[in-house]
Structure 1
């Protein structure tokens, strides 16, 4: 076989392989798809996952279901699961520090996953019991500083979005509080409502109605502007803590071995269905911004967060 024939045959073989991969991606999914959520039902992550599943099912003409598997078990099941797109993970930015919080998880939260893309971002609200003696952020910080170690705070765990936010808050305010971890955000809110914990972070989607009804008190909200739904709650900058800047994201991940064509297709499909004006409007009313990104951009963001928040959580004793 001369050199010219070899090049032609090699090119044909490569083209055939590429065509096969493209055809495989275009026919995806071939079976039921599970969106695993490592938090309890009713959490912000769960609400978004159900919206994604509801919109992807008709587009893919396949059943897309949400499975709540709170904790490490849920995330681990996806990292070790089939790399055929039948099982995906919808999680929050706390995912990036799992390896710091849990030393022997058996997987790497960055290397063992492939980013598909962001789904949404949402501001966080610092909440306290409705009958708490502190009515402003400044009063709460003063109380925490005066009683180091006496106050406790709830979260969905040190490595959750709300847990990382609390650690960042403690660091910036030079306060000491005791973490009381919960299975999810709803449980964390209940502990604050009962006065079992002095503070927690939540999302308007999860706790807005409780704040509006007076069952929880919000002292400040992250972001550059107040929420239209809670016009009396100041931003952290307005409340005297402009250095508290925290961007919470929610996004889709897949096992690292999933083929890039399928990852790309899932990313494009999610971007398309979540860009629907009705969906965007529905979540905007809940204080959630639908924001998507490319797989490469999401991978880069995951690495940056692992570096930044990993150090923060490690310093907190994670």
Structure 2
């Protein structure tokens, strides 16, 4: 087409075409396919804890589906609210996301004076799992069952210690409710996460934990700690020998530690949908499902894995638990 043009004119036309192509590639509305760079999955607790374990299982499978690198970063402190603040302020482009739970995205809003809103400052991606807490103790504890544990605590007021992931954490709130229901008194020992607390429980440095099943089950199966009850109306399929609180003598003390993933507010809908699709694929993977089951985690049905479902569920949990926390006057220490 340019055969009849002079060499100078042909060069000028070529340069103009190149310039037009450059401008078009930088024009608003044209974006690179997501993800174009590594994704950071922020875990708000210490490495080795239950949230970290679940996050790493998901990250490995999601990375394969997204054809991207997912870097797991542990940002600890203030029951997960330090990580929450960082994610809330992050650029909403899908490259910074977080895994959180009942404590970080419900209880923290009632317990702490936060620089962010646990509901309004995040885009929900997916509800990924739920699991009851276990009431567990050091291996050498004198009590052999829950009734004996309650009796021992009453006979030794304020002498026992219970590890938590910090003031206002799920373990702390569960412990407060346990004390209220049983009329017992014991001391709380805050840690930077459930993982470090479990290390001390195994070592016999603390007496109790109200812990996520995913954190406690490996130690129970290894015989390094003892289990008294599961805070659920039904027994765990992965640990059928542990009685429910109803069976053990403390009916109705139900607490579920559910987990979800969130992105910063205003993350584009198509990116949220892409991340959700990767999570849905991960939760359908037989290997992931088996690993979650071994950790005492129940994966929600496919129809409950949508972003809107997590948003509605989180709002319902806030409506329920904020009132309870405030009546009990649970505050960050």
- Under TM normalisation by the shorter chain, which class is it? 0.7 to 0.9
Q: Where does the alignment leave 5 or more consecutive residues of structure 1 unmatched?
A: 1-19
| Residues 162-311 of structure 1: pairs in structure 2 closer than 5 A | 162-291=171-300, 293-311=305-323
User: Which residue of 66, 90, 101 corresponds with 1:81?
Assistant: 90
Residue matched to 2:9? none
* Segment drifting more, 189-198 vs 215-224: 189-198
Aligned partners of 2:110 and 2:322 also within 8 Å: yes
Rounded Cα–Cα distance in structure 2 between residues aligned with 1:178 and 1:305:
27
State TM-score, norm by structure 1.
0.85
1:185-213 Cα distance to aligned partner (Å, 9 max, x none): 12112332343332102234323232233
Q: Which residue of 2 aligns with 1:6?
A: none
- The structure-2 alpha-carbon separation of the partners of 1:294 and 1:174, relative to structure 1 and needing over 3 Å to count, comes to farther
Q: Which has the larger radius of gyration?
A: 2
**Aligned-partner Cα distance in 2 for 1:177–1:309:** 23
1:317 corresponds to: 330
Q: Distance in 1 between matches of 2:314 and 2:168?
A: 14
Deviation at 1:146, TM superposition (A): 4.3
Q: Distance in 1 between matches of 2:154 and 2:63?
A: 50
Query: Which secondary structure state, in structure 2, belongs to the residue aligned with residue 237 of structure 1?
Result: helix
Q: May I ask how many residue pairs the two structures share in their alignment?
A: 296
Q: Is the 8 A contact 2:235 2:244 kept in 1?
A: yes
Q: How does 1:28-67 map to 2 (within 5 A)?
A: 28-67=34-73
Contact 2:232–2:244, Cα closer than 8 Å, also in 1: yes
Residue 98 of structure 1: aligned partner: 108
Moved over 4 A (4+): none
Task: Identify if the C-alpha distance between structure 1 residues 294 and 66 changes in structure 2 by more than 3 Å, giving closer, same or farther.
Answer: same
| In 2: Cα distance, 1:197 partner to 1:312 partner | 27
Match of 1:17 in 2: none
Structure 2 residue runs of 5 or longer lacking an equivalent are 1-27
Q: Say which SS state the counterpart of residue 228 (structure 2) adopts.
A: strand
User: In structure 2, what is the Cα distance between the partners aligned to 1:78 and 1:188?
Assistant: 25
